[in-house]
């Protein structure tokens, strides 16, 4: 007790914001992992269940993805789904070989159809992906009970569609989105993608997506997004989020606010994605996600920056301050913080030794978040060759 009585005001503040925040982070990371992993625990049971498999159409939008679209189409068409399944590949104004690769697959598999979005046809106030998916859904029919949106850089395990649909049907869900396994190849990917993913999930309290009582909180991953067709249209579909920089998150929010039952699950065993293959695209991509999820309002990004600064740089400042008390608080902080960071690297399949580079990680994260703030304030997004204006139709 005498130790705490001897603390200065600054030491009390650091004890709360450093070790205290790290303890909260540890609890949040573990509880979120448990919420997300509920489908993983059901996989064996789902695989053995005997159910009538409903009809589904898989929609794959692609813009200038001539290299990545091939493995995506191969794995989608290689599904072991026994029910009616169609695939619609959408060429969204590509200037490379994307369309020809789609045509190549369509020529040998009658389940695959190709829809082309012509250059110069993107309506005002629409983002390209939203428009492509909306046009694609218009080509589906009432017989297609479920819509599955899959990004062109995703590869699926053969059982992915079957198990995701069984989970949705057995649980009475209207929408299921999967957090795919992030394939990290280079050093910067391995260092940054896991922590940026954890940061965005934490900043937007993504695990509360699975709490039906919290209608105002939802998150989704557009890399794998399964929606009941009737729910999609009742909620307004992609037209309702046509100006959203992160249309997947906003569509899930609209669905949940409309009273539909939605879930976000870990799907590492079913799907994989390599989001970014260099630092430049990583900066742009994570900045867009943070700015888009916050509807270009900076406050949550600023709070995230503050939390990351205290979490990662607090112990170093405490050691620099000198004295046994500061050193003790710094050691306590690190003993809580580093295991959480190691947990993030381990569950994403990366080396836990990367935690030792946390000062470098912090510098890079700050750079991405500063970029996100710049886009929040400018409201102007240059994405995949299209410049989008400041006005947005995203529902608040």
pLDDT in tens, the chain (396 residues): 445 556 678 888 888 888 888 888 888 888 888 888 888 777 878 877 777 789 999 999 999 998 899 999 999 999 999 999 999 999 999 999 999 999 999 999 999 999 999 988 889 889 989 999 999 999 999 999 999 999 999 999 999 999 999 999 999 999 999 999 999 999 999 999 999 999 999 999 999 999 999 999 999 999 999 999 999 999 999 999 998 989 999 999 999 999 999 999 999 999 999 998 889 999 999 999 999 999 889 999 999 999 999 888 888 888 887 788 888 888 989 898 899 999 999 999 999 999 999 999 999 999 999 999 998 888 766 655 555 554 444 444
Element (H, E) at 99: helix 98-106
Report how far residue 271's alpha carbon sits from residue 177's, in angstroms, rounded to the nearest whole number.
11
Cβ proximity of 81 and 156 under 8 Å: no
Note whether 115 and 136 are within 8 A (CB). yes
Spatial distance between the Cα atoms of 135 and 121, rounded to a whole number of angstroms: 11
Q: What is the pLDDT of residues 23-65, one digit of tens each?
A: 888 888 888 888 888 887 778 788 777 777 899 999 999 999 9
* Contact yes or no for 7/15 (Cβ under 8 A): yes
The HSE-up count of residue 224 (CA atoms within 13 Å, CB side) is 29
């Amino acid at each position: 007790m005498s130790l705490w009585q001897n603390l200065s005001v600054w030491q009390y503040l650091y004890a709360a914001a450093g070790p205290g925040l790290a303890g909260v982070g540890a609890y949040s990371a573990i509880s979120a992992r448990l919420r997300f992993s509920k489908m993983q625990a059901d996989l064996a049971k789902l695989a053995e269940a005997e159910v009538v498999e409903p009809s589904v159409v898989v929609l794959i939008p692609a813009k200038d993805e001539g290299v990545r679209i091939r493995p995506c189409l191969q794995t989608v068409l290689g599904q072991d789904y026994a029910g009616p399944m169609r695939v619609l590949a959408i060429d969204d104004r590509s200037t490379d070989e994307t369309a020809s690769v789609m045509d190549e697959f369509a020529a040998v598999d009658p389940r695959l159809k190709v829809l082309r979005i012509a250059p110069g046809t993107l309506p005002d106030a629409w983002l390209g992906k939203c428009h492509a998916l909306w046009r694609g859904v218009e080509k589906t029919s009432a017989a297609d009970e479920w819509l599955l949106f899959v990004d062109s850089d995703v590869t699926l395990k053969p059982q992915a569609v079957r198990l995701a649909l069984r989970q949705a049907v057995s649980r009475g869900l209207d929408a299921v989105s999967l957090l795919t396994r992030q394939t990290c190849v280079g050093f910067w990917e391995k260092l940054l993608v896991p922590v940026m993913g954890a940061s965005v999930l934490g900043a937007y309290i993504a695990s509360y997506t699975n709490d039906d009582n919290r209608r105002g909180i939802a998150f989704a991953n557009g890399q794998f997004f399964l929606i009941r067709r009737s729910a999609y249209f009742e909620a307004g579909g992609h037209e309702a989020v046509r100006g959203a920089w992160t249309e997947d998150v906003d569509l899930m929010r609209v669905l949940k606010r409309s009273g539909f039952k939605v879930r976000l699950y870990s799907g590492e065993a079913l799907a994989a994605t390599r989001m970014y293959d260099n630092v430049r695209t990583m900066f742009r991509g994570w900045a867009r996600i943070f700015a888009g999820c916050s509807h270009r309002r900076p406050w949550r990004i600023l709070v995230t920056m503050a939390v990351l600064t205290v979490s990662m740089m607090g112990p170093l400042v405490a050691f620099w301050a000198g004295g046994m008390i500061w050193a003790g608080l710094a050691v306590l902080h690190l003993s809580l913080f580093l295991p959480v960071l190691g947990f993030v690297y381990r569950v994403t399949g990366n080396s836990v030794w990367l935690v030792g580079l946390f000062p470098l990680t912090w510098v890079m994260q700050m750079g991405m978040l500063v970029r996100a703030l710049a886009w929040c304030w400018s409201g102007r997004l240059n994405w995949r060759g299209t410049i989008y204006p400041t006005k947005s139709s995203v529902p608040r």
